[in-house]
Amino acid sequence: MAVKHFVLIRFKEGTSAEEIIKKMEEMALEIDKVKSFEWGQDLESEEMLRQGFTHAFSLTFESKEEFVAFSQHPTHLAFAEILLSAVEKAIVFDFPVVQVKPLINA
């Protein structure tokens, strides 16, 4: 069963989110355990609802074992150090995917 690694981030003041995102894209492309990677920036939802979080990231893996291998991969560990120094607050949620309606390319 596929596993999704979902992260919401509030970057520290003065952080270049673009630089961090570029490094995250490079990491996701380098590690073959990552089957898909998506990210996005909030569309300016009400502050009360988003609680200061501005960016969401989602990585998909074929299985829990692939996710565990990713989490221990040297490239991921090196990137995690960079990310942690740039983040004010984060929420991480890892879950098995239950797909109800697949994405259809339009």
Residue of 57, 79, 59 lying closest to 67 (CA atoms): 59
Q: Residue 99 domain-assigned?
A: no
Q: Are 95 and 4 in contact (CB under 8 A)?
A: yes
| Count: domains in the chain | 1
Q: Residue 19 domain-assigned?
A: yes
Q: Residue 101 domain-assigned?
A: no
Q: What is the pLDDT of residue 16?
A: 92
Here the CATH number for the domain that contains residue 86 is 3.30.70.100
Q: What is the pLDDT of residue 48?
A: 65
Structural domain containing residue 43: 3-55+62-94
Better pLDDT: 103 or 67? 67
Tell me what the mean pLDDT of segment 31-37 comes to. Answer: 97
67 vs 59: CA distance, rounded Å: 9
pLDDT, tens digit, for every residue of 53-83? 999 999 999 999 999 999 999 999 999 999 9
105 vs 6: CA distance, rounded Å: 22
Q: Residue 31 domain-assigned?
A: yes
Q: What is the pLDDT of residue 12?
A: 95
| Average pLDDT score over the chain | 93
